Structure formats: C-alpha cells, structure tokens
Amino acid sequence: MPLSVYPSDPLPAVPYEWSTYRPIASSGPAWRPVTRALTRFDCSTVRLPYFNLSWEDLEDLLTFWNSVGGANGIFMFIDFLGINDTPVGVLWENLYVCVGDSTTGSDGTAVYDLPCYDATVDATFKIYKNGTELVRDEGGGHINYTVDTTGTNGVNEITFNDPHRPLTTEIVAVTAQCRRVMLQARFVDQRFPFTLREPWSATGTLSIMEVR
Amino acid sequence: MTYITDHAGDASLLKWRLLHLDWSDDDGNVDFRFTDCDVPLRYDSQTWDVRAFTVGSITQSPTGPSCTFSIPDADQELFPQLSDTNGAQGRMVLVYEAYFASDNATNTPTEVKQIYAGRVVTTRKNTAGGTDTVEIQCGPPTTTDAVEIPPRLYTSLVRAA
C-alpha cells in the first residue's frame, strides 16, 4: 500500500534546517569511548518553518497530521531544498536504496523506489551496488537500468534490467541531483506545533525525522 | 588472525547484533531473525530483518549464561507466536555479533561470532508507559532436565533426636 505523502502545499520557507545523524551505542569513559554503529547510512531530520499561514493552509497541515495519526504514522516526505533551482534539488550522495530480494540475480527485471524526486539523470547520476558503480549504458544496446521520473509511488523509480537484479547480498545506493525523499518518515513531536484556537498561529515549525 | 582479534582494541567497531529466535516447529510456528542494524543483513544464507531489539546483561551461573532481551512488538508480530507456543518456553534463542571491516560495503558481515545461546524461561509483554515490547528472559542452553541434580545430593539429613 502506498504511503501518504507529506503535503507540498503550503510550502515551508526554504532553505531550512536540515541535519543528518547516525545513532550509536556507546560505553566507556569520556576519555576512552568505545562505540558501535547502529546504522550503515545517514538518517535525516528536517525542521520546516512556516510563516504567514492562512487558516486554510493550517487546516491542510492539520488534516494531514490527523490522517497519519500524529507522531504515530509513517509517511513519505519529499524534501523542499532547492525546489526553486534549475536543475531542481541539490546533489545528494550515497543514499540508501534497498537490499536486493533475489538470490539468483538473473530472473528478469526488478523495480525499487529511489529516495529521489525529480532526479536529473545525467553523468552525475550514479547507482552503486555494494559500493561499486553500476554503469547505466554499457554500450552496444546494453542498458543496465532505467529511471522513471514518476514511479508507482510518486517518486523516481529504478528498473534493473536482467541480469542486474540486486542480490540479497547487495546494498544499492544512489548519488543524484534531486529532491531527497525520505521513503519513510514520521513527525518528531507528539503535539501539533500550531495553535488552533483564536488567536491561531500563522507561524510554526514542524519537525520530521527519517525512519527505516 | 581473525578480524575480531585483529581489531579487538579499536575504539569503534562496525558491529551489529543478530538475534535468532529458533521457534519453528511442526505446528506452523516460525523462526525470527532480527538485526539491530538499519539495513537487512545477510548471514547463514538467511536475511536478518531490521528490528531494534536490545540485549540486557548476560549473567553467568554454574549451569551457563542467562540473558534478557527486549524486542519492539507494537505491530504484534511476535505476540501471536508466543500465544501459540506457551510463551515459547524452552525454545532456543541465539545471539551473534556481526563485524564489518571498514571497507566492507556489503550487507554480509566480515566475521560473525556467536555470543549467546539459551532457552526461553519466561516471556512478558510490556505495554507500560509508551512502550510496547516483548521481553524474553533466557536461561542456560541446556534443558533443566539435563542438569537436574540427583535429589540425594541436596536433601538434608533429618537427624534423629
């Protein structure tokens, strides 16, 4: 089932605070910490500032907030950074796509959602399998993968052609000029950050974090 | 030398845990394989799904180590299995540490070490205060029957007056 998608209207004020983190588990004293990683790839958080919201804008946000059950729900978030640039978005490097679901590798095509929206598919666009780039066009009519601008779930979608279907032992990552998509995200706060009764607030900040 | 012994003194290791709930049987109950990594890992020809479990302290007793696990179960995946298996009592639980060399870009560990094996003693569903977890308390890997001390060794003598 496709996830809900965070509303693109009203627009937050861009650029805004975007940060990345990698959770760890740690032990030992401060002068000799011993740590282990809990993620292989970056997770992101954003703080979306809204100004001059009309009552209708606020209702749109509240409707979405309620539709996912507040901080309980998981939804898809498409980043707004670089939304007014050409090409749209910014260059994102080494974003996690998937782990393959095939043990054989040569059983036809395979389709995955990319964490990208409006990606520019040119020389800067790179797909990696276990850190090694998979060339798109090998020449001689061998196209190893194709990228759809609007896939089934409303984001860029990659189709691996036979025999390049990723294996269960392969991690797929992407580098692309695009609007970054959090394929799964949630609200951080359990409280809707705007005042709804008079005087209702036209200004506020919604915090969203990536989950996996 | 192995990767683990080579890098035992490193301040930070790329290391995730693998938790195998070996609960499959003829009645349709299934195994669970979880990792606390954010990417599904591949080991032993199996895929280990992402599930942020935590491992409590491992304590040692004369019959073997005991351990407590806490597994998020807000989606009620584990609980039906527990209901069907009398709380999974006596079933095996195994924990591994999966080490990744810093240049290992795959989801297949460079080396894996088993750090615990035991049997389920009790399970508990904890829904208190914003948590929704299954807590599993495990004992030594042997069954209690196998280590039962003959009664004559611990019954006290009743002295005649």
The b/e string for A23-35 (b: 16+ C-beta within 10 A; e otherwise) is: eeeeeeeeeeeee
Cα end-to-end span (Å), chain A: 16
Q: Judge whether B40 is closer than 8 Å to chain A, CB to CB.
A: yes
Taking residues A3-14, what's their average pLDDT?
A: 90
Over 70: is that where the pLDDT of A82 sits?
A: yes
Residue A57 located in a structural domain: yes
Beta strands in A51-163 (DSSP E): 75-78, 90-99, 110-113, 116-120, 126-129, 132-134, 145-148, 157-160
- Which of B16, B38, B52 comes nearest A41 by C-beta? B38
Best A32, A35, A36, A96 member to test B by mutation, with max B CBs in 10 Å, is: A36
Residue A167 lies in a domain: yes
- pLDDT at residue A49 tops 80: yes
Q: Per-residue pLDDT for B23 more than 90?
A: no
Question: How many angstroms separate the CA atoms of B39 and A43, rounded?
Answer: 12
Contacting B with CB below 8 Å, chain A residues are: 24, 32-41, 43, 96, 99, 128, 130-132, 168-171, 212
Pairwise CB contact (< 8 Å): B108 & A169: yes
Q: Using CA coordinates, name the residue in chain B closest to A171.
A: B106
Confidence at B6, pLDDT banded by 50, 70, 90? confident
Nearest-CB residue to B37 (from A35, A40, A128):
A40
Biggest alpha carbon–alpha carbon distance for chain B: 76
Minimum distance, in Å, between the CA of residue B128 and any CA atom of chain A: 17
Q: Which domain holds residue A142?
A: 17-210
Segment B25-35 shows an average pLDDT of 85
Give how far B139 is from chain A: nearest CA, Å: 25
Q: Is A1 within the bounds of a domain?
A: no
Given a cut of 60, whether residue B156 has pLDDT beyond it is: no
Number of domains present in the structure of chain A? 1
pLDDT-derived band at A150 (thresholds 50, 70, 90) equals: confident
Does residue A172 contact residue A113 with C-beta atoms inside 8 Å?
A: no
Between chains, do B16 and A131 touch, taking CB under 8 Å as contact? no
CA dist., res. A35 & res. A16, Å (int): 31
Give the number of A-B residue pairs with CB atoms closer than 8 Å. Answer: 60
Of A98-112, A191-205, B11-25, B136-150, the one with minimum mean pLDDT is B136-150
pLDDT of residue B145: 57
pLDDT score of B141: 77
In this complex, do B47 and A36 lie within 8 Å of one another by their Cβ atoms?
no
Token readout for B65 is 């180590």
| Amino acid A140: pLDDT | 85
Q: Does B30 touch chain A (CB under 8 A)?
A: no
| Token pair of B160 as six digits | 């005649």
Residue of B62, B26, B48 whose CA lies nearest to B95:
B48
| pLDDT tens, residue by residue, A86-111 | 889 999 999 999 999 877 666 688 99
Among the partner-chain residues A34, A40, A128, the one whose CB lies closest to the CB of B38 is A40
Contacts with A130 from chain B: Cβ below 8 Å: 105-106
Q: Domain ranges for chain B, please list them.
A: 3-153
- Inspect the interface and report whether the beta carbons of A130 and B105 lie closer than 8 Å: yes
pLDDT digits (tens, 9 = 90+) for B106-147: 999 999 999 888 889 889 888 888 788 999 999 887 655 555
- For chain A, say whether B14 makes contact (Cβ under 8 Å): yes
Of B12, B52, B106, the CB nearest to A169: B106
The mean pLDDT value of chain B amounts to 83
